[in-house]
């Protein structure tokens, strides 16, 4: 199995952008991500717009457009570019066809999806990893005043769990806690504050487009 170059392909119509960071972590050990693409229709394209680690591919507005385009490109990557390691994130059973076809070419296929992913897709892959859904709310008594306020900010500003731009956090929380200065906290900056609280928060994306999410269920 060639693990030097990897094609990471996401069915953006089936997998939300909030899973982007988790998908990257789960596929890092496969090898170098030569290709990272999220295939989307117009609606899901806006969901994936801030996932800066992925190239967004607009597949049109017709049904199954993303599925078809992803499958066509996967075959091109295998036959033309010689890529033999694929990670496909979806839960759609229709992707079992492309998974079988790639395996017949001698490729390794890692499937990723939520617990809703069908058995047909799971079994057609060489291996399958189940993505974790958002964790249950952390008990309020375990949060300090800053974290309690951040929870309120996320509930109001990020109801779908896509993340809040890191550069907006300070202004949003100062609306609730005007007296708060992160510079006088032990961590000194918001990035450091979040990074020492990975059980509560996750930073996704790359600077300057990083976003903060309420942490997902631990791996």
Q: How far is it, in rounded angstroms, from Cα 19 to Cα 14?
A: 11
Q: How far is it, in rounded angstroms, from Cα 33 to Cα 158?
A: 29
Report pLDDT digits (tens) over 90-147. 988 889 999 999 999 999 999 999 888 889 999 999 999 999 875 544 555 578 889 9
185: tokens are 């906290």
Q: How far is it, in rounded angstroms, from Cα 126 to Cα 131?
A: 16
Provide the 10 A C-beta neighbour count for residue 102.
27
Q: How far is it, in rounded angstroms, from Cα 159 to Cα 153?
A: 10
Q: What's the domain range around 98?
A: 5-130
For residue 58, give the H/E element and its range. strand 55-58
Tens-digit pLDDT string for the chain (219 aa): 444 799 999 999 889 888 888 899 899 889 999 999 999 987 777 778 878 789 999 988 777 888 999 999 999 999 999 999 999 999 888 899 999 999 999 999 999 998 888 899 999 999 999 998 755 445 555 788 899 899 888 888 876 667 899 999 999 999 999 999 999 999 999 999 998 888 888 888 877 888 888 875 444
* Whether 11 and 54 share a structural domain: yes
Asked if residue 157 belongs to a domain, the reply is yes
* Whether 38 and 117 share a structural domain: yes
Choosing from 96, 130, 164, the residue where a domain stops is 130
Asked if residue 135 belongs to a domain, the reply is no
Q: At 174, is the secondary structure helix, strand, or coil? A: helix
Asked if residue 151 belongs to a domain, the reply is yes
Angle at 88 between CA 96 and CA 204, to 5 degrees: 150
The total of structural domains in the chain comes to 2
Q: Are strands 201-204 and 55-58 parallel, antiparallel or unpaired?
A: unpaired
Angle at 137 between CA 136 and CA 140, to 5 degrees: 150
What global pTM score does this model have? 0.62
Which sign, positive or negative, has the C-alpha torsion 91, 96, 101, 106? positive
CATH of the domain at 10: 3.40.50.1010
Angle at 11 between CA 53 and CA 135, to 5 degrees: 75
Q: Residue 61 to residues 26, 74, 149: CA-CA distances in angstroms?
A: 30, 20, 39
CATH of the domain at 149: 3.30.420
For residue 148, give the H/E element and its range. helix 145-157
* Whether 102 and 203 share a structural domain: no
Q: How far is it, in rounded angstroms, from Cα 43 to Cα 48?
A: 9
Provide the 10 A C-beta neighbour count for residue 181.
10
State the DSSP code for 62. Answer: S
């Amino acid at each position: 199995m060639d693990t030097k170059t990897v094609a990471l392909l996401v069915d953006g119509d089936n997998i939300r952008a909030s899973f982007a960071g988790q998908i990257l972590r789960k596929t890092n050990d496969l090898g170098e991500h030569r290709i990272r693409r999220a295939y989307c229709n117009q609606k899901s394209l806006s969901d994936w717009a801030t996932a800066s680690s992925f190239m967004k591919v607009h597949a049109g507005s017709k049904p199954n457009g993303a599925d078809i385009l992803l499958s066509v490109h996967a075959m091109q990557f295998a036959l033309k570019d010689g890529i033999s390691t694929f990670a496909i994130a979806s839960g759609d059973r229709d992707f079992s066809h492309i998974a079988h076809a790639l395996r017949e070419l001698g490729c390794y296929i890692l499937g990723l999806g939520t617990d809703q992913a069908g058995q047909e897709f799971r079994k057609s892959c060489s291996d399958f990893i189940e993505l974790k859904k958002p964790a249950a709310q952390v008990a309020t008594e375990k949060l300090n005043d800053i974290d309690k306020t951040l929870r309120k900010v996320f509930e109001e500003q990020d109801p779908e769990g896509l993340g809040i731009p890191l550069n907006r956090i300070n202004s949003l929380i100062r609306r609730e806690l005007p007296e708060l200065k992160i510079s006088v906290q032990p961590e000194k900056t918001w990035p450091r504050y979040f990074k020492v609280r990975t059980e509560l928060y996750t930073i996704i994306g790359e600077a300057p487009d990083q976003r903060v999410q309420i942490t997902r269920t631990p791996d």
